[in-house]
Structure 1
Amino acid sequence: MEIASLTPAERRVRWAFPRGETVDFSRPGDDAQHGGSWDPERTVRAHVLRTLLLRGEAAEGEIAALRVTGARVTGTLNLHNADVPYAIRFHACHFEAELMLYGADIRQLSLSRSYFPGLEGTALNVARIVHMSGCRVPGRLRLGGARLAGALFLDGAHLGDENAPQEGVLELNHTTVENDVVATDLVVHGETLLDGATISGSLTLNDAVLRYPGETALNAQTLAIGSDLHARKMEAAGRVNLRGARVQGQLNLAYARLSNPGGMALRATSVVAGELWLRRTAPIEGTVTLRRSQFDMLFVTPEVWPESVQLDGLTYGILNPRLPAHERLEVLEREDDGYVPYNYEQLAAAYRRIGDDDAARTVLLAKQRRRRGTLRWPLKLWGYLQDATVGYGYRPMRAAAWLVTLMLIGSVAYGLHHPAPLKPGEAPAFNPVFYTLDLLLPIIDFGQEKAYKPENAYQWLSYSLIVTGWILATTIAAGITRALSRQ
């Protein structure tokens, strides 16, 4: 590189590079987004920077690095498949053309608060931290298949065009990050892609705004996170797709706003996570599906759920906050697939784990009532009878109440009008209470029923008590069988 061919600004950069010093062209009130009008005194050509990175050498006893602040870079910085053993730091700089970093091997990369039309970084390899905090990118930021040994910072970045959102604005498909991804206050107008990405640390999307209305705002299928996924107060206008994601710790959507009216707002099928937090999340607009997902703890209140849910196969250990069963049951009525027995069993199991057997029985009774609606009329009739008598076995006190009531009716009726003995002189002394119990209880025999014969209306009363007794005995036996099978 001939020094005579360099501008004064470029000479400053060339002089600082071997020593790793920062060249600061910034001025008060700078906005990198509008840096296209900056004067020549702060303008550097991209091919000069490329030559320094590929051919430059460190000064003796120094660590070379390219560190520039507040510069305007003209032309395309093309490091396609380049091996750059130096740190690159552009702070609050304006790039006129897309950065070409495809397949490059770079020591460290920082573009914080800079403006660039786009970045092609597919298969990029960075040995240390990648800083893009506060950057402005109206086009696409592609880092698909990249390998980042340090953390990735996208906090405060604004990506995409608000007036023309498009797919793949932020692309991290199959990217490997061996530390955290910090994207607090990130704004993306278009699709964010994290399909198949692996993040060893945590992913932070707190206060992020992801907008792609009617389309997929966040596509993170089979995402693997070694720690937590924090998305507190995240706003997503469009589908959030987490199918098959694996999160070792929390999947935290507390205070978030998820909206995709008329479509799928949250698709989290086959997800495995330690905890799913929907604490004080705004009512979700659009369908939510959690089919076949597994959580050790699920925190959600009924008002968060939309009118359409898909929960078949959802497994959770603890359900918080602790609420009465009837508040949780209302959500199961919104199931798109209609009656799903598994949903009721899972909810009942959650109540049993915390020792609330009454709530568990309430859930299982609701399950039988919901099932009744799917049966043909003879079985429906039998179901109504079981429900009215013993609550399908989950309300055993009803059977006792029926028995006591019928025993009182029979005892009073036969006490006022004794039936005639079949064999006068041989019959035992008549007892209206034990005679009624003989009629009601099909197994017990006190010798009263066989010794006396009622007539007229009292005979029909005896028939009614016998039939009712058999029905009660059958329904009680069915309830006991269900209870034992659950144990």
Structure 2
Amino acid sequence: MEIDELTGPERRVWEAFPRGRTVDLFAAAERSVRARVLRALLLTSPAEDGEIPALRLRGARITGEFNLHSGAVRAPVSLRECVFEETPVLYGAEFRQLSLSGCRMPGLWAATLRVAGALRLNDCRVPGSVGLSGARVGGALFLDRAELGTRATAGEPEAAAAEREGGSLKLDHATIGEDLQATRLTVHGRTRLDGLTVAGLVRLDGARLLYPGGGNTALHAETLTVGTDLHAMRLHAEGRVNLRGATVPGQLNLAYARLSNPGGVALRASSCTAAEFWLRDAPPVQGTVNLRRARFELLHIRPEVWPAEVQLDGLTYTALTPVLPAADRLRVLAREADGYVPFAYEQLATAYRHIGDDAAARTVRLAKERRHRATRPLYGRLWGHLQDATVGYGFRPMRAAGWLVGLLLVGALTYGLHPPRPLKADESPAFNPLAYALDLLLPVVDFGQEKSYAPEGGYQWLAYLLIVAGWVLATTFVTGVNRAVTRN
């Protein structure tokens, strides 16, 4: 391109490029720069000896299509607070550094883009979609305070709805060599991060991901892989947040987050792995939470944050904080969408045993038996009620001791008022109703009374009842005490 074909602003840009100087057109009377001029400048890259060329332009109105499809740009590019009349096409292009901070553009098509250093899209306003699928960014990607997509309206055209479904931000299967910084990002429509690999930190603090509707996914991040932490404190998500199969070696932090998808799944983190999962100090989740088969070392969530329906089968964790009474945690398990899930109770009991709270662990396992009882046939439910009332399914050994004492008193009073006949009057020891009742109740005790006296009629059936009850209750009591002593 000949320099005499250039307008005044374009000539300033052309002359500043070889020395890497900044051209500021923000307050200029004439701000228009043709996209084909910038394309010719970047692909020819004129340079001067001893200088480092760079395109640094602020406040320009870029007319025409900025098309660098599959082009290789050797100089750093910084287009700040520029307005693009048409969607930039950077598909398969290669850059050293690229900054489009503060720019306004209809959309951005940059799938399989390659940037050796950082890619900056801070404060951008893009009513269409930003397509970075399969991109490779050697440094960090910045999307702080960017606003992408447009809020859905009544009677939205089908074409706009299809684009929204495809994603207003597409970072699927991309690779970022350092961090993904997207604090206070706003996305209207789907955010696609599935298959994304980030070597460092993902920060979505204060982000607003808005794609409401029971079947809509606001954040689609299946099999996301993060090198350190994923911070999304104060995240506001309308629509499903899908983290299925995500891997976070450090902290998955959703503290203070507002998750809303009434009538659908608000949070799906099934098969997700993280050292710590935080959902503390958050308002109640509106919609189902699915944590099936997820694995966490630490799970930090209060009972009031859980929604009315949860899916927790296969969820494993080592520690559950804050430490609360077992009754508070059991209310959450009662909301299980799949009904009775034995594993959820065993996992909760294990967590309490991990911190040495054996009483809470027994309470959980007792609640498990009671929940299981409701799934059994009538005879099983009746037997379960009897076990619960008498010995608390074996988890309340002192209750067994109380029943033993009560039956001992009943036996002693009954046989004291109605002594049984001696088998051999001249050889039998003197009758002692308390010792006789103990002989019947305690299988390992022998005072010689039971062998010497034979009750008749209903008193014989009472003796049978005391013998059977004694075996069951004494065994339960001894087993419970032995379990407690062994743990101590």
TM score, norm. by length of structure 1: 0.94
More strand as a share of residues: 1
Note the C-alpha offset of 1:442: 3.4
CA distance in 2, matches of 1:160, 1:384: 58
Distance 1:265-1:484 versus aligned 2 partners, 3 A rule: farther
Measure the CA separation in 2 of the matches of 1:401 and 1:25.
89
Q: Deviations over 1:248-275 (max 9, x none)?
A: 1111000000011001111101000010
2:287 maps to which residue? 286
Output the amino acid matched with 2:313: D
Does 1:445 pair with 2:434? Answer: no
Taking structure 1 as reference, are residues 251 and 331 closer, same or farther at Cα in structure 2, changes over 3 Å only?
Answer: same
For structure 2, which runs of at least 5 residues remain unmatched after alignment?
A: 153-159
Q: Tell me the CA shift for residue 443 of structure 1.
A: 4.3
* 1:186 corresponding residue in structure 2: 185
Give the superposed CA RMSD: 2.0
Q: Tell me how far apart the structure 2 counterparts of residues 109 and 294 of structure 1 sit (CA, whole Å).
A: 38
Matched residue type, 1:198: T
Relative distance call for 1:219 and 1:54 in structure 2 (3 A) is: same
Tell me which residue corresponds to 1:206: 205
Q: Which residue number in structure 1 is paired with residue 157 of structure 2?
A: none
Q: What's the CA shift for 1:121?
A: 0.7
Looking at structure 2, the residues matched to 69 and 334 of structure 1 have their Cα atoms a distance apart, in angstroms, of: 56
User: 1:120 corresponds to which residue?
Assistant: 109
Cα displacement string for residues 106-147 of structure 1 (whole angstroms, at most 9, x for unaligned residues): 011001111011111111100111111000001110111110
2:89 is the counterpart of 1:100: yes
Q: Does 1:307 align with 2:296?
A: no
Mapping 1:128-143, distance limit 5 Å: 128-143=117-132
Counterpart CA distance in 1 for 2:464 and 2:201 is: 72
The letter of the residue matching 2:6 is: L
The one-character-per-residue Cα deviations of 1:296-355 (angstroms, maximum 9, x if unpaired) are: 100001111111110000000100000000000011011111101000000000000000
Task: Give me the whole-angstrom Cα distance separating, in 1, the residues matched to 2:333 and 2:147.
Answer: 39
The answer to whether residue 184 in structure 2 is matched with residue 195 in structure 1 is: no
1:481 and 1:378 mapped to 2: Cα distance?
30
**Aligned to 2:368, what secondary structure does the other structure show?**
helix
**Which residue pairs with 2:155 in the alignment?**
none
One-letter amino acid of the counterpart of residue 355, structure 1: G
Indicate the SS of the match to 2:190. Answer: strand
Quick check: 1:420 aligned with 2:444? no
Q: Which residue of 2 aligns with 1:33?
A: none
- 2:50 aligned with 1:61, yes or no? yes
- What secondary structure sits across from 1:347 in the alignment? helix
Aligned equivalents of 2:197, 2:60: Cα separation in 1: 34
Percent identity over the alignment? 60
Answer with 48-57 or 443-452: which moved more: 443-452
Post-superposition shift, 1:2? 1.1
Matches within 5 A, 1:309-388: 309-388=310-389
Residue 418 and residue 451 in structure 1: after superposition, are their counterparts in 2 closer, same or farther (change >3 A)? same
Residues 413-443 of structure 1, C-alpha deviation per residue, up to 9 Å, x if partnerless? Answer: 3234433312111001222211001111234
Residue 10 of structure 1 aligns with which residue?
10
Question: More deviation in 420-429 or 217-226?
Answer: 420-429
Count of residue pairs the alignment pairs up: 476
Secondary structure (helix, strand or coil) at the match of 1:342 reads helix
Calculate the TM-score normalised by the size of structure 2: 0.94
2:69 is the alignment partner of 1:80:
yes
| CA deviations over 1:88-114 (Å, ceiling 9, x no partner) | 101111010001100001011001111
Contact 2:45 2:75 in 1 (8 A): no
Deviations 1:187-235, CA, capped at 9 Å, x for gaps: 0000000010000011111010000111100000000000111000000
Superposed, which structure 2 residues align to 1:164-179 within 5 Å? Answer: 166-167=164-165, 168-179=167-178
Distance 1:347 1:484, change over 3 A: farther
